[in-house]
Amino acid sequence: MTFDLFDALEATEQSQEQLAPGAFVLRAFALPYVQQLLPALAAIEQASPFRHLITPGGFRMSVAMTCCGELGWTSDRRGYRYSAIDPDTGRHWPPLPTVFLQLAQSAAAQAGFDGFMPEACLINRYEPGTRLTLHQDKDELDYGAPIVSVSLGIPAMFLFGGNARNDKAARVPLFHGDVVVWGGPDRLRFHGILPLKEAEHSLLGRQRINLTFRKVA
């Protein structure tokens, strides 16, 4: 039988780790919000279903994505962009639920970023095998605001790299309820997710949901 610490670990008490001067892992920070988060997520998914985006290179992303908020992030052969309209439905993205905003603002403040006002929340759905290669979040006009990233469901190995693609990336296991916040001098750090291991979560099944909050403009 195979078994390791990565499979067994899951933070149940809140704690804080500093990855860099402007980057923090807030363990279990989102747990008090989960009961309200999940029904809000179900409503968003019904209005703007998850879809696999195509990169400018013509490849299908393994993560399934949707968005909520005034603006949503999308990609196609023409490039990456933020849009007020969901290109799949032709309608506005669902509004940012109050509980989403409360969680994002309190996590940002906990990491030292007061007054965070995101207008976009990108929602990524991972299944075992799904990955996100090293990239920068640089489609926003405002790099003064941090990125707030919430993990729900099965664990994932987060890669936190440097400001250059070839910089060696730190590996940070992320579990249900963990929140990562990075901004200031670390706002443009490369980051990604290794292919997820097979796992099952009691609330979310064989999936990981990631909420990423950004101030776009």
Binding interface with DNA (CB under 7 A): 55-57, 59-63, 73, 75, 80, 122, 131-139, 165, 192, 194-195
- Nearest approach in angstroms of CB 132 to DNA is 5
Closest CB to DNA among 57 and 90? 57
Residue 93 labelled as part of a binding site: no
Closest CB to DNA among 31 and 86? 86
DSSP state of 9: -
Residue 206 labelled as part of a binding site: no
Task: Report the distance separating Cα 19 and Cα 191, nearest Å.
Answer: 12
Residue 163 labelled as part of a binding site: no
- Nearest approach in angstroms of CB 24 to DNA is 20
Q: Which residues contact 6 (CB under 8 A, 6 or more apart)?
A: 155, 157, 173, 197
Task: Report the distance separating Cα 153 and Cα 204, nearest Å.
Answer: 5
Residue 210 labelled as part of a binding site: yes
Tokens of 119: 């207008």
- Nearest approach in angstroms of CB 56 to DNA is 4
**Among 16, 18, 24, which residue's Cα sits nearest to residue 146?**
24
Tokens of 111: 């990491």
- Nearest approach in angstroms of CB 213 to DNA is 12
Amino acid present at 122: L
Binding residues for Fe cation: 135, 137, 191
Binding residues for 2-oxoglutarate: 124-126, 208-214
